[in-house]
A and B are shown apart, each in its own frame.
Chain A
Amino acid sequence: MAKTMVDRTTRTLKGAEVVVRLLEELGVRWIFGIPGGASLPLYDALYDARGIQHVLVRHEQVAAHAATGYARASGEVGVCTATSGPGATNLVTGLADAFMDSVPVLAITGQVVRPNIGTDAFQEADVTAITMPVTKHNYLVMDPAELPRAVQEAYYLCRAGRPGPVLVDIPRDVLQAEIPSELLRVPFEPRYQPVLDGDPARIAEAAEAISLSRRPILYVGGGAQGASEPLARLARRCRIPVTVTLMGKGAFDETDPLCLGMLGMHGTAYANYAINEADLVIAVGARFDDRVTGRLKDFCPHARFIHIDIDPSEIGKNKPAHIPIVGDARRVLEALEPLVQPPDVEAWWRQIEEWRTRYPLRWRPGRMLKPQQVIEAIYQATRGEALVVTDVGQHQMWAAQYYKCRRPRQFITSGGLGAMGFGFPAAMGAQFARPDDLVVAIVGDGGFQMTLQDLITAVEWRLPLKIYVINNGAHGMVRQWQQLFYNERYSHVFLRNPDFARVAEAFGAVGIRVEAEEEMHAAIQRSLEVRDRPVVVDFIVDPEENCYPMIPSGQSVKEMILGE
């Protein structure tokens, strides 16, 4: 719970000082942002801030994605800020991404002075209205006396229950208003209290269902990132196969033979076969997204569902849950695990192993570098220990397939929104959160160009990021769909690219271009040796390579394309 700040030296504080001092008090270390007219008072207060460092990015979209990357890597609240109007609208994509993937991000935006609100003033945009559908909650602070409470509640809401982004929009005259310091001592009472403990009756029912099942499977989503220990105990003691979603990667050790890897549209064939043959699906912090289920009515036709989620509105949203359990995944699994008698899964495992042997993930070597080959090489060179951040597209799916994760929060990606341009800035945020970890951004040539101007920010802060560009000269996933579903009518997908290595050098980063297999390992090694600045390695890969397996959109496991 947020403590309130006590100030004994002055009787009033400026609104902006209230914001900064509360954030300091709440433990915020980093803010990503760009100043502007409406947020001048906030930046004036940041000038004196002792506990908070500000990272000046070059585009507000980067501020939002960096805050998200920070939050995803640390589990703490990521904070970004922008001025009114265009500054704030540039945050929207990042907020939408954080909303879809349930990431705690606090955005503080400047707004035009109160008398000008609604007059189409310079740099005015109705930011609370614009962000309403992509935030958990937001505030337009019209009364300076409400500011301390708004900031504290916003920070609390970011992480309470299902995490998500919260925005506080503050008019410049509120940032300048004098606020009596005793208002900061008013204890903050949260209005919103999530249910954390699951209903014991439901938990007992779930334990019995698991004990009696013959073909159980754990379907693990992003909501299980904080529940990996009880999850591992349950899976290992009862030998229950585990499949992870894109957001669930790392919540369970993917190198464990119990793990079938990712499921869904580009999941492993054996994970998809297994879940669709299961008699009991135990969904933990997963939301039955269309990229996982395909055609809903054909998804898991034989299964009963146990659905564990902290958000009651997820339960039954896409698939009816036979045993719904609302609560925090960790607490629910801790209560559930000891009650379960290991089911008889011998025959089930024989079947799964047959699928696993028959339909492995595979790629064929060719004349050119294969993207999967590059990811495997990165995986080996980093011994599977890097914190991997991806952009969106084919490379994202290959990274999910071939970079096996062993610990929670090891894989950071824009899952729900699928926001291209996310990868590199989110990796910057992750590096700020984990300064001593090896942070690797795997991006495509298309997505990287959406935010690469901020290479200069990474250079300025001497971030030892590795940016691996899987360069196929196209919006590869779109090209793949045009090839498969639009009769190879390639409409505006091929990219004439700059020389990314030279671009990197121009920014002061290290740039390496790799066109052949012989250069690949050495280039990765060299990139890992750079410690004082970012490295961009541009891997020129086979432009024809497609991402398989693939369950075409809106279809079922029966229509899965295994490969060419």
Chain B
Amino acid sequence: MSEALAAAAQPASERRMLSLVVDNAPGVLMRISALFRRRGINIHSLAVSVTEDPKISRITMVVDCPAARMDVVLRQLRKLIEVHWVRDITDAKRTERELALVKVNASPEVRHEVLEAARVFRARPVDLTERTVTLEVTGGSEKIDALIDVLRQYGIREVVRTGAIALLRGTAVT
């Protein structure tokens, strides 16, 4: 495929972070994810859990959406009956966290180096075997990316990430 064709097929996407308040009920996530799927928009990460009100869940999602379509997609999300509130918080002042568990090769010869790297990133060892260390790390998604990059040289066996969650700072309503 020529570059021009590729560009036509894939309009420039932007990574956007959305926060949704939705009914805590079966099928809600399917409705939301179907809305993105139908438009060919990839969900990069997704975190869902119940809020202080057991009937209400909060979804934090990071999507790769063509910039020109984001507005319409937000309005389409707002049309879903079970979606109470949607906000694009990409450009808002926010507190953002993600949690990851990273299982990395760590034979006795390199274990010290691995743990040293972990310390720099304030990652906590949560499991240790003769051949592996599992680290727990929280922070912004970029920090976790950076830790994973550093650990790559030792051989990463498995990674699991929760996906980013975020709230706006101060009294602002997310």
Contacts and interface: CB of A to CB of B under 8 A. Distances in A.
A128 interface: yes
B72 A317 contact: yes
Given A313-B72, A313-B75, A129 B30 contact: yes
Contacts of A132: 27, 30-31, 34
A491 B59 CA distance: 50
A311 interface: yes
Given A132-B30, A312-B75, A192 B81 contact: yes
Nearest to A313: B75
A136 B80 CA distance: 8
A128 B71 CA distance: 27
Contacts, number: 30
A258 B14 CA distance: 46
Interface in A415-472: none
Contact of A313 (B26, B31, B34, B76): B76
Interface of B: 26-27, 30-31, 34, 38, 71-72, 75-76, 78-81
Given A132-B30, A137-B81, 6 more contacts: A128-B27, A132-B31, A142-B26, A312-B75, A313-B78, A316-B72
A315 B71 CA distance: 10
Nearest to A311: B79
Contacts of A142: 26
Contacts of A133: 34, 38
Given A133-B34, A133-B38, A140 B27 contact: yes
Nearest to A128: B27
Interface residues of A, number: 17
A557 interface: no
A367 interface: no
A78 to B, nearest CB: 20
A191 interface: yes
Contact of B81 (A191, A311, A316): A191
A311 B71 CA distance: 13
Contacts of B75: 312-313, 315
Nearest to A315: B75
Nearest to A153: B81
A312 B30 contact: no
A316 B38 CA distance: 19
A316 B34 contact: no
A353 to B, nearest CB: 38
Interface in A264-282: none
Nearest to B35: A133
Which 9 A-B pairs give the minimum distances between C-beta atoms? Answer: A313-B75, A313-B76, A137-B81, A312-B75, A317-B72, A192-B81, A313-B79, A313-B72, A132-B34
A157 interface: yes
A311 B80 CA distance: 12
A316 B74 CA distance: 12
Contacts of A128: 27
16 contacts: A128-B27, A129-B30, A132-B27, A132-B30, A132-B31, A133-B34, A136-B81, A137-B81, A140-B27, A192-B81, A311-B79, A312-B79, A313-B79, A315-B75, A316-B71, A317-B72
Interface string A157-179: 10000000000000000000000
B24 to A, nearest CB: 14
